[in-house]
Amino acid sequence: MALSSSQQFKYWSIALAVFLVVLWSLGNVLLPFLLGGAIAYFLDPVADRLERLGCSRVIATAIITLLSLLVFVVMALLIIPTLVIQISELIGKVPEYFNNIRDFITNKFPDIANSESTIRQSLNSLSEAVKSKGGALIEGAFASALSLVNIIVLLVLVPVVAFYLLLDWDNMTAKIDALLPRDHAPTIRHLASEIDRTLASFIRGQGTVCLILGTYYAIALMLAGLQFGLVAGSVAGMLTFIPYVGALVGGGLAIGLALFQFWGEWGSIATVAIIFAIGQVVEGNILTPKLVGSSVGLHPVWLIFALSVFGTLFGFVGMLIAVPVAASIGVVTRFGIKGYTQSYLYQGTEISNKEPENAPTADT
């Protein structure tokens, strides 16, 4: 005997509540498994492509794992130490930059920036706060990161979890499909395919765009002679997944640093601005249309809201699942709206009682 709609809703609501409680309780314990699952999901199309070229699933997974480890080792040895050094140096330079701003305001607006003015006092206070707390802030951030993502997780658990999930990805999805409730299996498959399409377009596509643009910005800014080009390029690349935010924040940071470093050398400052202009043209006309597409359906405000809510509720783990959950909720919401607009609740009973325009009459 089939369950009624109200009973099914009750049971599925209880299951969802239990899942959220378990997620909140386990917290950071789930981190290596979520990271491994995200990596496996990201690399599954590559494994499928290698299988179509004649490799077995084991060989394809082994090739992908070795190449991924090689990339990680190169980043750990070359890029990450340089990035950490530049971040530390930038924090050390911040008081000097604030002093320069204060001197500039003093010279240009002597009446506004006198010793008793609010602007001057605010700049002095902010400079002292950054100088006194900047080092402690970065040390605390790195200490928290190391306690959260320790060496064992990075070097052992995540690659192992990703390897086994990637190896058995097709089998797992087949088993999950076999466990779907039969009455709702077609609808669930349809929603799952829409969610997968959205995630594939956004996470895989936008992740590739972020990587390409971040690499371009970092290399171009360093070649232009910007002192903290790697930091500015990395920030711009990481934030590119939110449209316009990456360019505004990264571009503003890079141009601001260029103004301090190249003041009076307007050609160098223009070069930094041109680098970001080229990046935006390439992203908007080539990368995003080719890799992401135009029908992802994830609004920037919705992304920021999801990251804020899940980050507050579940910490770093919540931020990892924020985008997939936001995409899933968006797909389900669009499905519900489509069903609503086709229902009597939206259309009313009068529409259902109207005769079709081409219906035969009694005289024909």
Which residue type, as a one-letter code, is found at position 93? Answer: K
Give the CA-trace dihedral at 325, 199, 316, 46, to 10 degrees: 150
Which residue type, as a one-letter code, is found at position 245? Answer: V
User: Among residues 212, 276, 218, 287, which one has the least CA distance to residue 247?
Assistant: 276
Q: Where are the alpha helices (DSSP H) in 27-150?
A: 31-52, 57-74, 80-108, 118-148
C-alpha distances out from residue 178 to 41, 52, 57, 169, Å: 20, 25, 21, 14
What angle is formed at CA 271 by the lines to CA 265 and CA 277, rounded to 5 degrees?
Answer: 145
Q: Give pTM, 2 decimals.
A: 0.62
From first to last of the 364 residues of the chain, give the pLDDT tens digit. 566 767 777 877 888 888 878 777 776 677 778 888 888 888 888 899 999 998 889 999 999 988 888 887 777 777 767 777 777 777 767 666 666 666 666 666 665 555 566 665 665 665 566 555 555 545 554 454 445 455 556 667 888 888 899 989 888 888 988 888 877 788 888 888 888 888 777 777 778 888 888 889 888 988 888 888 888 888 888 887 776 777 788 888 888 888 877 777 888 889 988 998 898 888 878 887 777 665 555 677 777 788 788 878 777 667 777 778 888 888 888 888 888 888 777 777 655 555 455 545 544 4
Alpha-carbon span 339 to 349, nearest angstrom: 16
C-alpha distances out from residue 107 to 113, 114, 119, 325, Å: 9, 10, 14, 52
Other CB atoms within 10 Å distance of the CB of residue 137: 12
**Dihedral sign from CA coordinates of 118, 123, 127, 129:** positive
